[in-house]
Amino acid sequence: MGTTSFHIGRGGFMNESPLFVRTYDFLLWLIPHAQKFPRLYRFTLAERVQRLALDFQDMLVAAGKSQGMSRVEKLKSADIQLEQLRVWVRFARDNQLFTLKQYEHAARSLSEIGRLLGAWLKQNRDTPPIKR
């Protein structure tokens, strides 16, 4: 799957940030797959997985528009959402809702997103507050 180009705002770093691109690409992959879950899971697990993924994307956008400790708190919240998403994707695999190949793709994508998020969080934790 190739990298998708998208725009959030004018000239913002979210246009080129690998974290935003990888997350967007993962959403493009995940939503159609979750919508194919059997009816038994469509309104429970599929809904939960999709909601977590979309909420994670929203939290990244909010963090990108924030500064200082507000950004750090949003990044921490995004990290929690990402971990929750990992758990539910694994649960979907354990219930044979993803093939092994699909699960491997999801796990690799989520790991890469996690590394990028971790780097952004570390960068913002290590940045001293702006004195006014």
Return the CATH number at 96: 1.20.1440.60
Distance CA 46, CA 54 (A): 12
| 2 located within any domain | no
pTM: 0.84
* Residue 87, pLDDT score: 98
Which pLDDT value is given to residue 126?
79
Structural domain total, the chain: 1
131 is a domain residue: no
The whole-number pLDDT of residue 12 equals 52
| Domain extent for 90 | 16-126
In a domain, 1, yes or no: no
- The reply to whether 28 falls in a domain is yes
Q: Are 31 and 23 in contact (CB under 8 A)?
A: no
Please list the pLDDT of the chain residue by residue as tens digits (132 residues): 454 544 444 445 555 799 999 999 999 999 999 999 999 999 999 999 999 999 999 999 999 999 999 999 999 999 999 999 999 999 999 999 999 999 999 999 999 999 999 999 999 987 665 555
Q: Alpha-carbon distance 2 to 35, whole Å? A: 22
In a domain, 63, yes or no: yes
Q: Is residue 21 part of a domain?
A: yes
